[in-house]
A and B are shown apart, each in its own frame.
Chain A
Amino acid sequence: MEDKETSDLGAPLYVAWQITNECNLACLHCIEESGPGKAFKDELTTEQAYGIIDQLVKSEVPYVSFSGGEPMVRPDFFGMVERITKGGVGLKIETNGHYLTKENCKKLKDLGIKAVQVSLDGASNASFNKMRVHGRFEEALNGIKNLREAGIPIEINFVPARFNIKEIGAAVDLAHEIGAYSFYTGKLMFTGNAVRTWGITAPDEADYPEFFATLKAKTDQYKGKMRVYYHEMGLLDELRYRLLNPAALFIILPNGKVKLINALPFTCGDLKTDTLGQVWAQFQKAWQSPRVSAFIDRLAEDPNIVSRLHQWEEGWPIVLYTLLGGAAAVWYVGPPIRWVYRGLGETVIGLSYGPWMVLGSLHLHTHRFSWGALLASLVPGLLITALATVNNIPDFHQDRLVGKKNLVVRLGRKNGRVLYLALSALGLLIIPAGIFAGLFPKLTILAALAGLPLWILSLRHGRDTWDTPRLFMPAIRSIVQCYALTTALFAVFMGLGR
């Protein structure tokens, strides 16, 4: 698979399709945060799913996996299986094994399923049932037995946790004993439910060397009988590898959105609206996006950010921040709020900054935060502050004599002029900085370029007229226009995303 450049391919080689986020279990480590009642509100309808299947068939995608959630809880599960296998696509099912009745296994066999992967996170009742909440070890084993009897190839998946990591040897032995031909494992990932349960699930780092040593030994032991797949690569190493060698694989979420790779929060398309071909083109482009490499670099500094994998980074939060900034500025002098006339000018400047900080940390705690959004909010934020400052320059004496302590009164008009020009210049400079950092789309530079002439105009008008309100007005007008135009364009191009 990796011998070929992904860009040479007309379609992905492998599509991992999470057909629902609903699950009968609520595993402690679930990377998808699935569970009972956890279906997305906007999951694909049967009709939409069939449409995607038809495209996969038509594009001759060779291999697809259905996972979840628990894929077998979808009422149209067998309908989807039938449609895709009849189309000649090799299908693998990833399941918790609780619905693998004799009857279902026979159906799957008849439909030509290539393999079924069952999660066995433990070699004992105690550890399995602890990890896989609502799950029953016996039930899963029984399902596997039914697969074997139906003659379906079996794969076993094992995720290590503090309380089962010592069972790895026994788990591999069990997998072989129940007839699996492949065994998959790796490190527990700090994402999804594991973020909340990390305290009770995370294995001691010191246990990993023995874990991998056992796996190495077991690999040799079962050579020719069962393949043991594991990688010691951390998530970060793998992502860096993938950046250079993107797999020709993409992940379809239950609502039709397409993710680059499970450990990255980026979506690159929506199969509800885009064709498979479009999404595939976007997928390849997305791997070259500086945002993806920047994210991986940030991950190196802050491993915690993968805990927010399920906040797929898209344009809308940034647009929201930007619009909030706009609202504060528009009503700074504009009716009906007119902050400045209520003596709240300074407060609003504080609010423009403060809320970003507060919203930012709120975002962090509620797993809804992005540095890109924070940086983006500084563009309108700084321009607004410049606007608030420049607006106080003509009113300097009145404000001073009535005891308003705004920045211009404190610093004087001459310095206030320097301050407003510096603040607005900084607001514009944030844009190229954000692009350079790979956080803003390249097109946002147009917002800065549109604002720049207005900034220069304001500088020209305001440089020597700060002490004559009548003459200073054009300087204010220009900075207001600079703010409005830059913020509007910036919001649009951030929203467009590319």
Chain B
Amino acid sequence: MRIEAFSSPTMVTWQLTRDCDLACLHCCTDSAPGKALPGELTREQALKLAGEIVAAGVPYAMIVGGEPTLAPHFAEVCKTLSDGGVLLKIETNGNNFDPATLKGLGIRSVQISLDGASQAVYGRQRVNGVLERAVAACRSVVAAGLPLEITFAPTRLNIFEAEAVIDLAAKLGAFRFNTGQLMRLGTAARLWDKLEPSKADYAAFLRVLERKEREYAGKMELCYKPFSLDEEMAHRAFQPSGTLLVLPDGRVKVAAPLPFTCADLKSQTFLESWEAYKKAWADPRVRTALADLAADPGASARANQWVALHESEAIPVVV
């Protein structure tokens, strides 16, 4: 996909808030209770942005967090987008989730994190989390007739339960199971030494995935490729994604594992931000950072210390 040709993004990933009711050890966004970002978009700003996304003709939006349902304007944002023809994917931890809030909306899928098949494992990784509640949320999503996706973030704490979680996901009626190597971002990066699974763990995990992929063929899709973040970034380096990543305060990030922001939706329009995003991929600082990331995957650990491309001295863009 050559993003230059696109008049608007094909998808918006919108972190509605950084606040969360859980404090997961592996969180890639540094979320936790009370950790809302200073200057998060107000209801008015968020609804204005939702209107702009609709006007730009964006087909899909992923509403994520933190825990997006904690944003007071969560339901209104979803309704504005959906009424405007944008299909939604909602990512939630499912601990306080009621699918009734999405009734009547165009929902592509609801994704719930299940990082364990037992309360002991789940609760250790998803601090404050209750597995029963998440499972109940999964059931209510399916009962409401909405497509369910499960995501699993492997750590040293839970990777041995992977097979049980996959079976649980299938039993709950998920159409897709998402996973991949743990991302060295946010909280996970700080706790990396405690969380990073061993090579042997990963090898066993891959064997499980391959086996389960065959077992559930035609029933549930197992998505685990690209397996690692650096593989994915290597691909994106020459084919940037058409997705715009919006942070809770309205800034636009070039990519999750890169520290750069390229626009600010509080002061720029949505389409201006899209143009800035397209240019950012040709920015020499971004190219350098991509090269550094390829050389040292650990570099992503600093990706949440945001550097604004647009605020520093203008650097000529060479395409």
Contact = CB atoms under 8 A, between A and B. Distances in A.
Contact of A397 (B5, B10, B108, B221): B10
Contacts of B182: none
A402 B59 CA distance: 13
A395 to B, nearest CB: 10
Interface residues on A, range: 10 to 19
B7 A397 contact: no
Given A400-B57, A401-B57, A467 B87 contact: yes
A278 interface: no
Interface string B92-128: 0000000000000000100000000000000000000
Interface in A375-423: 396-398, 400-403
A401 B53 CA distance: 13
A403 B7 contact: yes
Query: At the interface, is chain B mostly helix, strand, loop or mixed?
Result: loop
Nearest to B106: A467
Contacts of A397: 10, 59-60
Nearest to B109: A468
Nearest to B56: A401
B315 interface: no
B113 to A, nearest CB: 22
B1 interface: yes
A402 B8 CA distance: 8
B6 interface: yes
A39 B108 CA distance: 72
B7 A401 contact: yes
A398 B1 contact: yes
Nearest to A404: B5
Contacts of A467: 87
Contact of B6 (A396, A402, A468, A470): A402
B87 A402 contact: no
A397 B11 CA distance: 10
Interface in A454-478: 467-468, 470
B282 to A, nearest CB: 18
A124 B242 CA distance: 88
Interface in A161-216: none
B177 to A, nearest CB: 14
Contacts of A403: 5, 7
A396 B59 CA distance: 10
A401 B8 contact: yes
A470 B108 CA distance: 12
A400 B58 CA distance: 10
Nearest to A467: B87
Contacts of B1: 398
B57 A402 contact: no
Contacts of B59: 396-397, 400-401
Contacts of B7: 401-403
A210 to B, nearest CB: 77
A398 B10 CA distance: 7
Contacts of A398: 1, 6, 10
Interface of B: 1, 5-10, 57, 59-60, 87, 108, 221, 242
14 contacts: A396-B59, A397-B59, A398-B1, A398-B10, A400-B59, A401-B8, A401-B9, A401-B10, A401-B57, A401-B242, A402-B6, A402-B7, A403-B5, A467-B87
| In the A-B complex, the 9 residue pairs with the closest CB atoms | A397-B59, A402-B5, A401-B6, A401-B7, A402-B6, A401-B8, A397-B10, A401-B10, A398-B10
